[in-house]
Structure 1
Amino acid sequence: MKNPKLRILNYVIPLITLLVSIVCYFRLPDQITLSWDLNGAASSYEAKWHLFLMSGMGLVIAILFDILPHVDPRKKNYSKFEHFYDQFCIFMQLFLFGMTSITLVENFRPGTVNIPLVITIAIGILFLFIGNELPKVKSNFFMGIRTPWALCSEENWRRTHRLGGKCFFTAGIILILAAFLPSQKLVFGIMFAMIMVASLVPTLMSYLWYRKGI
């Protein structure tokens, strides 16, 4: 991350997430819900210290986000998409903060949040963001659609990520609209299909372009 303010924010958000978890920890029951079924009902209960596995993940990710550009053999390329990299780091931290917040709210006041709706929309927004920025990502070994064929060719990488951006953006729109369908099984099916399509179509085309010498 090159932007000093975003670098600091990349650590501030997970630290706030961890602090909120610590403050709430002593008011939680010994067993808490960390997962829900398709209808938003609690599906399992865990020891409350497991909450820190979620809330502490942001700090681990923050450190990794700082390390990866320095160990990547193509680290010079990060300067070409550093704006996206910075934004993606912050977006992921906000996403984890949101998931931790939902978990805490639902354990204190079950039924407050429509979990299937919120999660589906959140993933849809994530896909929109990725789809919009993916074409700007330059060749590297840690971020993007890193097929062996794309890593071997700048043109293949460009085409793969341009197509991937369209696939993820379209999938994001469909997921947000699907979130309001009455059948949660149908919503889950659409989500699974969109994830598969957005991931596999660019991968397949990357291989086909490679076969054509691109």
Structure 2
Amino acid sequence: MKPVRTLLVSALFLLILLAAFVWLYPHMPARVPTHWNAQGRVNGYMSPLGAVATPMIVIAILAAITLLLPAISPRSYEITPFVSVFVLVMLAVQIFVLISALALLLNATGHAVRMPLICMLGTGVLWMVVGNYMGKLRKNFFIGIRTPWTLASDAAWERTHRMGGWLFMLAGAVVIAIALAGAPMLLMVGMMLCAALIPAIYSYALYRRLEARH
């Protein structure tokens, strides 16, 4: 799918969210729970309008980024060679925002929606989707594991992203499992940090090893 066509999909996401808000608004309280702490307790509120406007703005920004980045990427670092993968990942993030926002609105109107569980499951699925496509990313400045060592070496970029893809998929599966088991959100945060830091450290060690061969 071309980046321009994703604007139609993003517009559909916005219409779905707006329609849900109009339908649920009469049943919403003056203050809508919008944030939960690591123990699953509410610690942040917004007005109903703010609760729907925030995710809509995020989706709109993501849609604009999806269209803009392929056009401004510099030579030798173009997104164009893997633009279909880039588009799929950006749409996956928008779907995550959409589902989280719909769950939040339903929770605000008294429906039995466990927001921490929804967020953990959504995060796990998103990380698995990103991990599945990570190995197809090519060197660029905007998306992927962009360390000084992956940007300096095509081989380091490719091998780091292959390893990172498997690690992201594993981390996503573990997050889903611990969410269903009722484990605290702090475990999810720990898994995400590991999945992000290990590939970065690996890229440095790999680059040094590759350089030593020359």
Give the TM-score range, shorter chain.
0.7 to 0.9
Q: Any conservation in 1 of the 2:4–2:67 contact (CA below 8 Å)?
A: no
Tell me, in whole angstroms, the C-alpha distance in 1 between the residues paired with 2:110 and 2:199: 42
Q: What 5-or-longer segments of structure 1 have no aligned partner?
A: none
Select between 192-201 and 27-36 the one with higher mean Cα deviation: 27-36
Alignment of 1:115-130 (within 5 A): 115-130=115-130
Q: Equivalent pairs: percent with the same residue?
A: 28
Q: How large is the Cα RMSD of the aligned pairs?
A: 2.2
Q: Secondary structure of the equivalent of 1:56?
A: helix
Name 1:17's counterpart in structure 2.
17
Deviation of 1:5 after TM superposition, in Å, equals 4.4
Q: Secondary structure of the equivalent of 2:32?
A: strand
Name 1:198's counterpart in structure 2.
195
Tell me, in whole angstroms, the C-alpha distance in 2 between the residues paired with 1:162 and 1:139: 13
Deviation of 1:209 after TM superposition, in Å, equals 1.7
Deviation of 1:136 after TM superposition, in Å, equals 0.2
Deviation of 1:205 after TM superposition, in Å, equals 1.0
Deviation of 1:78 after TM superposition, in Å, equals 2.1
* Corresponding residue pairs, total: 210
Q: Does 1:176 align with 2:173?
A: no
The CA deviation string for residues 154-210 of structure 1, in whole angstroms up to 9 with x for no partner, is 1111011111101101101111111122442xxx23212211111111100111122
Tell me, in whole angstroms, the C-alpha distance in 2 between the residues paired with 1:200 and 1:8: 35
Tell me, in whole angstroms, the C-alpha distance in 2 between the residues paired with 1:48 and 1:4: 31
Check 1:58–1:210 CA distance in 2 against 1; reply closer, same or farther (3 A cut): same
Tell me, in whole angstroms, the C-alpha distance in 2 between the residues paired with 1:90 and 1:210: 32
Deviation of 1:35 after TM superposition, in Å, equals 1.0
Deviation of 1:30 after TM superposition, in Å, equals 2.4
Select between 22-31 and 32-41 the one with higher mean Cα deviation: 22-31
Select between 38-47 and 191-200 the one with higher mean Cα deviation: 38-47
Name 1:139's counterpart in structure 2.
139
Name 2:78's counterpart in structure 1.
77
Q: Any conservation in 2 of the 1:74–1:140 contact (CA below 8 Å)?
A: no
Tell me, in whole angstroms, the C-alpha distance in 1 between the residues paired with 2:192 and 2:153: 25
- The residue type paired with residue 17 of structure 1 is L
Select between 157-166 and 42-51 the one with higher mean Cα deviation: 42-51
- The residue type paired with residue 95 of structure 1 is F
Tell me, in whole angstroms, the C-alpha distance in 1 between the residues paired with 2:18 and 2:95: 13
TM-score normalised by length of structure 2: 0.87
Select between 162-171 and 79-88 the one with higher mean Cα deviation: 79-88
Name 1:61's counterpart in structure 2.
62
TM-score normalised by length of structure 1: 0.87
Tell me, in whole angstroms, the C-alpha distance in 2 between the residues paired with 1:191 and 1:8: 33
Check 1:99–1:36 CA distance in 2 against 1; reply closer, same or farther (3 A cut): same
Select between 25-34 and 192-201 the one with higher mean Cα deviation: 25-34
